[in-house]
């Protein structure tokens, strides 16, 4: 049966919806076979084959070659099969092409049903395939619409819509419809309204991907980001390391005249980014983690994973940071509870750690900062 209209419709679906017609062929063959069996008789075996290049639908009844026939509607003896063609053997199918009358109307109805039943499932699968390629990556998306605190993005090359909520924006982010913006793809969320891609600019993963973009040594693995912590809009601390002799990991991240790190900071609207060398020596690690403040002394209690830190009196506010963000991030980065004190107050490892007007204790080290950072 020639049905040019059917194959033209499949081609149109491919062009309009981006769904290859091959995706439909198997489903249509199954649907048409079920409809054909109703015409032919349920007791008989049947199959339908679509041949797109010839715009043709082939209908077959068939019997399976067996030694002893038990179901005459579905089986044929080896002897009778060989009478048709000598090469037949047990297990082969003996096909007979059929030409069902008035099947065009049934075929059209079946095709419509199959398409309606499966189009949403195919699109959903394609959406998940699209996001599987982009999840955990930095992408550039267009602002499609703004609804209150929610920004909806057009993700190029997909049928997906990205959602950037107010909490996933930077404090100084201000966007207009049509703007191209960089975002980190967290994951896809399915609800009754459909699939939405959740993206972020406030997560540490966003800064990590910006650094990978700007620093080839990170992208190719010569430099490893061991840990990264962030309070969006204020500060990010990044601990890096390398096993390449002669490679300055911190210098490579900063770049010539600060070009690389400045590109990252510009994208973050001036958010401070501290790049430090990771160290397995806890004292050394804590000292660099508290940068840009200088540190006089560190006393560590490994049993309680705490550290008392003595800093110059005039550097105390710098070590603590606005609202305590600097010492809080240093605690998250190193995994130690930090008690930071000015030089007038001696640090003693056996002292009970109590916050006063001139010191701050940070106990916020359980957060897994690599949530949503999947390379």
For residues 320 and 262, membership in a common domain is answered with no
Looking at the fold, whether 128 and 152 belong to one and the same domain comes out as: no
Q: Which of 178, 200, 222 is the last residue of a domain?
A: 200
Stretch among 17-21, 185-189, 314-318, 330-334 having the lowest mean pLDDT: 17-21
The verdict on 260 and 296 lying in the same domain is: no
Identify whether residues 57 and 124 lie together within a single domain.
yes
Please provide the average confidence, as pLDDT, over all residues in the chain. 84
**Whether residue 227 sits in one domain with residue 302:** no
Q: Are residues 8 and 120 in the same domain?
A: yes
The two tokens of residue 354 are 């109590």
Q: Are residues 180 and 244 in the same domain?
A: no
- Structural domains in the chain (count): 4
pLDDT of residue 318: 94
- What pLDDT, on the 0 to 100 scale, is given for residue 79? 92
Are 174 and 139 in contact by the 8 Å Cβ rule? The answer is no
Instruction: Give the lowest-confidence range in 36-40, 75-79, 163-167, 263-267.
Output: 36-40
More confidently predicted of 348 and 175: 175
pLDDT tens for each residue of 44-60: 899 989 888 888 888 89
Token pair belonging to 260: 């690389």
Say what the pLDDT of residue 216 is. Answer: 96
Higher pLDDT, 186 or 201: 201
Out of 200, 215, 248, a domain closes at: 200
Per-residue pLDDT, 370: 40
CATH (domain of 185): 2.40.50.140
97: domain CATH number is 3.30.1480.10
130 confidence band (pLDDT: 50, 70, 90): low
| Residue 352 banded pLDDT, cuts 50, 70, 90 | very low
**Inter-CA distances, 230 with 15, 203, 286, 328, Å:** 44, 7, 16, 10
Please choose, from the candidates 161, 171, 156, 203, the residue with its C-alpha nearest in 3D space to the C-alpha of residue 184.
Answer: 203
CA 11 and chain centroid, separation:
30
Q: What domain range includes position 54?
A: 4-132
Domain boundary (240, 259, 278) is at 278
Structure confidence at residue 17 (pLDDT): 66
Same domain, 10 and 112: yes
- Rounded to whole angstroms, the Cα distance separating 321 from 58 reads 76
Assign residue 372 the CATH number of its domain.
3.30.300.20
């Amino acid at each position: 049966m020639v049905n040019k209209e059917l194959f033209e419709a499949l081609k149109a679906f491919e062009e309009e919806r981006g769904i290859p017609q091959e995706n439909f062929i198997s489903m249509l063959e199954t649907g048409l076979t079920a409809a054909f069996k109703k015409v032919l008789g349920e007791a008989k075996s049947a199959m339908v084959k679509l041949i797109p290049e010839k715009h043709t639908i082939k209908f077959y009844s068939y019997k399976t070659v067996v030694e002893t026939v038990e179901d005459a509607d579905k089986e044929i003896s080896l002897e009778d099969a060989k009478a048709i063609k000598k090469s037949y053997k047990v297990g082969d199918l003996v096909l007979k092409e059929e030409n069902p009358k008035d099947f065009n109307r049934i075929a059209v109805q079946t095709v419509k049903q199959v398409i309606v039943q499966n189009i949403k499932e195919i699109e959903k699968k394609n959406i998940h395939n699209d996001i599987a390629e982009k999840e955990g990556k930095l992408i550039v998306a267009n602002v499609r619409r703004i609804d209150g605190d929610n920004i909806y993005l057009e993700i190029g090359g997909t049928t997906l819509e990205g959602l950037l909520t107010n909490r996933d924006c930077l404090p100084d982010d201000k966007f207009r419809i049509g703007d191209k913006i960089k975002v980190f793809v967290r994951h896809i969320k399915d609800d009754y309204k459909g699939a939405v891609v959740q993206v972020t600019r406030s997560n540490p993963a966003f800064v990590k991907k910006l650094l990978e973009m700007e620093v080839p040594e990170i992208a190719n693995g010569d430099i490893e980001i061991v840990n990264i912590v962030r309070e969006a809009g204020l500060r990010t601390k990044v601990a890096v390391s390398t096993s390449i002799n002669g490679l300055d990991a911190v210098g490579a991240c900063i770049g010539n005249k600060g070009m690389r790190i400045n590109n990252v900071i510009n994208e973050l609207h001036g958010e401070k980014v501290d790049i430090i060398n990771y160290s397995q020596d806890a004292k050394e690690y804590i000292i660099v983690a508290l940068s840009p403040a200088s540190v006089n002394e560190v006393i560590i209690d490994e049993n309680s994973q705490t550290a008392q830190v003595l800093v110059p009196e005039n550097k105390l506010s710098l070590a603590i940071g606005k609202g305590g963000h600097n010492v809080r991030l240093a605690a998250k980065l190193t995994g130690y509870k930090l008690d930071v004190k000015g030089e007038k107050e001696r640090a003693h490892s056996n002292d009970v750690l109590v916050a006063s007007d001139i010191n701050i204790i940070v106990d916020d080290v359980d957060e897994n900062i690599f949530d949503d950072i999947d390379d």
